[in-house]
A = this chain, B = another copy of it.
Amino acid sequence: MAGEAEKWVLMVTAQTPTNIAVIKYWGKRDENLILPVNDSISVTLDPEHLCTTTTVAASPSFDSDRMWLNGKEISLSGDRYQNCLREIRARAGDVEDEGKGVKIAKKDWEKLHLHIASYNNFPTAAGLASSAAGLACLVFALAKLMNVKDDQSKLSAIARQGSGSACRSLYGGFVKWVMGKDDDGKDSLAVQLADEKHWDDLVIIIAVVSSSQKETSSTTGMRETVETSLLLKHRAKEVVPKRTLQMEEAIKNRDFASFAQLTCADSNQFHAVCLDTSPPIFYMNDTSHSIKLWNLALMKQLFSRIISIVEKWNRSEETPQVAYTFDAGPNAVMFARNRKAATLLLQRLLFYFPPSSAADLDSYILGDKSILKDAGVQGINDVEGLPPPPEIKGNIPLKKCKGDVSYFICTRPGRGPVLLSDKSQVLLNPETGLPK
């Protein structure tokens, strides 16, 4: 190791998107390596609206590996972080920074400690796969810092060991996590089906439930499903393989009707196997916190209302306008076939879920706010003036649920991980290697 001893800090900052599965991952065949029981397919969300930014730094002045998430120091001692750090270090290459006069040989990386600072541009509590974006970003940034030569797909297999769905965040657009066959997990990795420009008509609207609920542990849930659900095996072996091929075809052909049908069906089947678990998941995730059960009931209610709104509208049209998908987190994700459908969807969502009177519209619709303008909604008065959707005709509209949704995010399919060169986005002090 050369350079001005003990003084230099070498840093890299990266940004990685989150992703939402349209063919769901639920159930591991190997808990340690995080190998799934079936393939899954996801859409990467635009990092402009939802992403993790991570700065990783190495310096001979660091005493130990440390990490800060959203400004708060967290432990790196868990297996998942350790697995990722070990795998990346094992692949490190020679690095030379001429500007700083730093030269690090491959073998030196084992001795260098790391500082890591990570920041989500969306609430962690929203359960929007923050751990997926976070672990993907960690692996991507470290690989850049340490000059790892492995391609994106191989990096995805490392990120997978940090958080299963993280592997899908190594690519933009439409991504498949191939379950693989090998016992060592080497072939369980992500591949890109199509980039984000392939199908840029799609608009994604996310409803986040007003709930302070933390992301529930999917590890425990998955284990219980694998152990007790008699339907999961059939889903993994018979249903998903066929459905994955159909979904790939739908994406390739930008066939929204098939995409919508498969997305909704797979979301519902995922919840079905959770219900087929003993005791059923989502009712019982955390029995010691009864307050959660109440939130879960609210969430379930939001899900069923959104299913009802979407199904009614789709049926009244010649061809599906919107697809829905729900993960374990307190949010609902909807795909609109195009901008026009997104505008009409947003009108419906605002009609059924108006903001609580205190909220202003600007903090109620996040992300791509231009859809709000297209929808003819400029202020709270316009929300109140929205007519009932024509498809409900003379029927009593669903009870309006003011305040049930915390906010909406309007977004679109987005790009994969990138390095950031803008110094304002660097999260660690370049001199001390501590959070700014």
Contact = CB atoms under 8 A, between A and B. Distances in A.
Identical copies of this chain, number: 2
A395 B304 contact: no
A290 B285 CA distance: 29
A291 interface: yes
Nearest to A312: B287
A424 B73 CA distance: 79
Contact of A264 (B271, B272, B278, B315): B278
A301 B293 CA distance: 9
A283 B304 contact: yes
Interface in A217-235: 228, 230-231, 234-235
A228, A276, A287, A304 — which one has the most chain B CB atoms within 10 A of its CB?
A276
Nearest to A281: B268
Contact of A231 (B272, B291, B301): B272
B304 A297 contact: yes
Interface in A235-250: 235, 238-239
Contact of A283 (B290, B308, B392): B308
Nearest to A274: B272
A397 B293 CA distance: 11
Given A278-B264, A290-B396, A294-B399, A231 B300 contact: no
Contact of A397 (B272, B273, B290, B311): B290
A198 interface: no
A276 B395 CA distance: 27
Nearest to A243: B230
Contacts of A269: 230-231, 275-276
A288 B264 CA distance: 21
Contacts of A293: 304-305, 308, 398
A307 to B, nearest CB: 5
B278 A261 contact: yes
Contacts of A301: 297, 300-301
A430 interface: no
A96 B364 CA distance: 80
A280 B392 CA distance: 19
Contacts of A279: 264, 307, 311
Contact of A275 (B271, B296, B308): B271
Nearest to A310: B279
Contacts of A104: none
A6 to B, nearest CB: 51
Contacts of A397: 290
B264 A268 contact: no
A111 to B, nearest CB: 48
A69 interface: no
A200 to B, nearest CB: 28
Nearest to A228: B265
Interface in A124-176: none
7 contacts: A231-B231, A269-B276, A272-B275, A284-B311, A287-B308, A287-B315, A297-B300
Interface of A: 228, 230-231, 234-235, 238-239, 261, 264-265, 268-269, 271-273, 275-280, 283-284, 287-291, 293-294, 296-297, 300-301, 304-305, 307-308, 311-312, 315, 392, 395-399
Please give me the 4 A-B residue pairs with the lowest Cβ-Cβ distance, nearest first: A234-B234, A272-B276, A272-B272, A283-B304
Given A272-B276, A297-B304, 12 more contacts: A228-B265, A231-B235, A231-B269, A264-B278, A271-B275, A272-B273, A272-B275, A279-B311, A284-B308, A290-B395, A291-B396, A300-B301
